[in-house]
């Protein structure tokens, strides 16, 4: 080709952002009021900044059920954690239990965040008890949106922050603070300075809420597995084969399951692979991954039921 691509460049056709528009296109009065690129003032930005928090009117049971739906991969971990604190448990015990439940799984949530999610959903709560075992009212964490600073008396011995800026004054503790003092010599006189000593928080325990336990107790793995098998009678034999195959100690690998069922004529049209069945059985609690796919007790019960039906 003889022509250079640059020869095709038509300068007249270029868009010029600074070119004057057709007359009458711009209202000079309106243009004078608008400064393009000017930052918003704090007042203009305020509605976006201070959006009113939404009030959650769901019951604790609804919140917990919704949480389970929103985090299907962690559903069993969450249910097991709530079940675990039918008896009060320390944070360390909860950490250990969470890690045990996640031994073969993965979650971006730390054990602390699991507890936070469950607490927010109203499934568990953090309770602090005194030496006699009576519950002590405690407040933890961040100040809730819109909550004012604590305007209590000055129990810590320092000056309340009156007039500092009006928004934050003082969040004095309800309990008296540990104090210490030290003398300093500044070259002319000895002055005594007082200090607040940081104290340890009384550790609390995690306790399951009745609403949380209600949701745990309403779980019916056996019923859900039966529903799954009833919904796909065509594949009943495949499901049973997989459940039976995975009763082996140490479980079965995905490749072993592929070899078991992928060549079955039942899976030719539509084409299915073992993962389809494993995923469904796992979601319903019939299989779980423990370094290999293993049949759970609920899955074993299904096999026993099927065998009993055949025997009849």
Partner 1 sequence: MAKDMTVAAVLDSRAATYSMLARLYRSELDADYLAKLRQMRCPVNTGNADVDAGYKLLHSFLSHVWERTLEDAARDYLRVFIGSNTTGHAAAYPNESVHTSAERLVMQDARDEVLAVYRAAGLESSTRWRSGEDHIACELEYMQVMSERAAAACAAGDMTKAASTLMAQHHFLDDHLLGWVGFLTDEMLKFAQTDLYRGLAHLTRGFLTEDKAFLDEVLAEELDVEAQLHGDRPVADADAGETAPADPSSQVA
What residues make contact with partner 1 under the rule CB under 8 A? 37-42, 44-46, 48-49, 91, 110, 112-113, 115-116, 140-145, 149, 156-165, 167-173, 177, 179-180, 182-187, 190-191, 193-201, 203-204
CB of 35 to partner 1, least distance (A): 10
Could you tell me the CA-to-CA distances from 193 to 158, 176, 182, 292 in Å, in that order? 12, 18, 5, 64
CB of 48 to partner 1, least distance (A): 5
Question: Mind giving me the DSSP string for 152-182?
Answer: ----SSSPP-TTSSSS------SSPPEEEEE
Pick 201 or 249: Cβ nearer partner 1:
201
Pick 165 or 263: Cβ nearer partner 1:
165
Q: Which residues does 114 contact at the CB level (< 8 Å), separation at least 6? A: 74, 77, 78, 81, 98, 107
Query: C-alpha angle 221/223/225, rounded to 5°?
Result: 70
* Helix or strand holding residue 107 (H, E): none
* Cβ pair 156, 172 in contact under 8 A: yes
Pick 115 or 284: Cβ nearer partner 1:
115
Pick 178 or 304: Cβ nearer partner 1:
178
Pick 199 or 247: Cβ nearer partner 1:
199
Pick 176 or 279: Cβ nearer partner 1:
176
* Cβ pair 149, 224 in contact under 8 A: no
Q: For residue 89, what is the DSSP state?
A: B
CB of 92 to partner 1, least distance (A): 9
Could you tell me the CA-to-CA distances from 172 to 47, 78, 158 in Å, in that order? 31, 36, 9
Pick 26 or 113: Cβ nearer partner 1:
113
CB of 66 to partner 1, least distance (A): 22
Q: State the Cα–Cα distance between residues 54 and 296, nearest whole angstrom.
A: 41
CB of 185 to partner 1, least distance (A): 4
Residue 272's CB is within 10 A of a number of other CB atoms, namely: 16
CB of 33 to partner 1, least distance (A): 18
CB of 78 to partner 1, least distance (A): 17
């Amino acid at each position: 080709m003889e022509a250079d691509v640059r020869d095709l460049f038509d300068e007249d056709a270029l868009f010029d952002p600074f070119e004057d528009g057709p007359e009458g296109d711009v209202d000079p009065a309106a243009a004078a009021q608008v400064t393009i690129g000017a930052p918003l003032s704090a007042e203009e930005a305020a509605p976006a900044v201070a959006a009113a928090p939404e009030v959650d009117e769901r019951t604790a049971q609804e919140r917990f059920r919704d949480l389970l739906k929103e985090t299907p991969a962690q559903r069993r971990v969450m249910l097991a954690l709530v079940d675990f604190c039918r008896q009060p448990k320390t944070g360390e015990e909860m950490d250990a239990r969470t890690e045990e439940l996640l031994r073969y799984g993965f979650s971006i949530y730390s054990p602390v965040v699991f507890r936070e999610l469950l607490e927010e959903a109203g499934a568990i709560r953090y309770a602090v008890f005194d030496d006699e075992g009576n519950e002590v009212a405690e407040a933890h964490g961040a100040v809730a949106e819109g909550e004012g600073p604590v305007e209590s008396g000055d129990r810590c011995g320092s000056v309340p922050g009156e007039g500092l800026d009006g928004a934050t004054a003082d969040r004095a503790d309800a309990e008296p603070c540990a104090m210490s003092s030290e003398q300093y010599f500044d070259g002319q006189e000895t002055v005594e300075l007082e200090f607040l000593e940081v104290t340890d928080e009384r550790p609390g325990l995690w306790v399951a809420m009745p609403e949380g336990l209600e949701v745990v107790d309403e779980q019916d793995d056996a019923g859900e597995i039966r529903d799954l098998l009833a919904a796909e009678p065509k594949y009943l034999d495949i499901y049973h084969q997989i459940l039976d195959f995975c009763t082996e100690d140490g479980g079965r690998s995905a490749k072993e399951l592929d070899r078991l069922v992928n060549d079955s004529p039942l899976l030719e049209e539509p084409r299915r692979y073992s993962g389809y069945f494993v995923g469904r059985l796992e979601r319903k609690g019939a299989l779980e991954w423990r370094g290999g796919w293993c049949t759970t007790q609920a899955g074993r019960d299904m096999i026993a039921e099927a065998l009993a039906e055949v025997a009849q």
